Amino acid sequence: MTGNAGNAGATAVTELSGAPALGPLYAAAAVRTVLPGRAGSLPDRELARSGIVVDPAHLADYARVCGFRIGDALPVTYPHLLTFPLQVALMAGRSFPLPLPGLVHLANRITVQRPVAVSETVDVRVRAERFTAHPKGAQVDLVGTVSAGGATVWEGRSTYLSRGARAPSGEPAPAPPEPAVPTGPAAALWRVPGDTGRRYAAVSGDVNPIHLYPLTAKAMGFPRAIAHGMWTAARVAAALEGRLPDAVGFDVTFRRPLLLPSTAELVTARDGDAWRFAVRGVKKPEVIHLVGRIGR
């Protein structure tokens, strides 16, 4: 799967010939958690893929699972699926300082410069940044960029927490300010089936056991399987589809796991040219699963 390693400035770039298979990467990462010799700093390299053309059938499956309409442009969250396998490949390596199993997705920021046509050929790169302390351990950002015609058209920054880990920086990184949680009546009621994690795993490749079955989730400390954070985020973006500008920022903070099966409410509020949103419990509306803002 790996092509030649080049050099862009001080950072080595490893070109992959195809998308890494995530199942074997998760298995290998689990083995590495018990092996000595983990690196103490981030790898000074990027992973890249070039000449990617989206499979319309795969896009249709993704749209069906997340609730998007099928159009000429990629949904705002779809390029995350192009960067995520490279994220996992980078984090599963021996040179990555944090163990992949048990990483918690804290937040995600997406910046769309312009709509990306389904028919466009794109290039993808992923790097790791900001390995810093966190009150509960250590955190790191995995940054993916998608470019077309030599220009960046999409960027996604995923922030992960490793509980109990230590980072070179002793001071926790300041958390970005969160938008105020909207209140009032729900804009939508979601009935989230128990197989949602397996359905999203089938289209995303994210086969983390915490999302698949009650038994595999319990082995990782959860009472039952939980929804992927990026499925919940995509479901929010799909609900607001058609009310967003072409160039958009999408910021999400993940607060509480959404257990499967479950029922949840989406609540929204206008914020200038954007929308604030939250996904909350139905019987316990004080339980916030995620909060964020999408728009200009």
pLDDT tens, position by position, 224-277: 999 999 999 999 999 999 898 899 999 999 999 999 999 999 999 999 889 999
What does the pLDDT look like over 48-78, one tens digit per residue? 999 999 999 999 999 999 999 999 999 999 9
Cα–Cα distances (Å) from 67 to 19, 55, 196, 275, in that order, read: 25, 18, 12, 18
**Per-residue model confidence (pLDDT) at position 73:** 96
Q: Contact, 100 vs 29, CB < 8 A?
A: yes
The angle formed by the CA atoms of residues 198, 202 and 203, to the nearest 5 degrees, is: 125
Residue 16 has pLDDT above 90, yes or no: yes
Q: What is the pTM of this model?
A: 0.90
Please report the pLDDT score of residue 8 as a whole number: 40
pLDDT, position 1: 44
Averaged pLDDT score across all residues of the chain: 90
What is the predicted pLDDT for the residue at 142?
Answer: 97
49 phi, psi to nearest 5 deg: -135, 140
Give helix 229-239 / helix 196-204 axis angle, nearest 10°.
Answer: 90
Averaged pLDDT for residues 128-147: 94
- Distance of alpha carbon 47 from alpha carbon 13, whole angstroms: 6
Would you say residue 172 has pLDDT above 90?
no
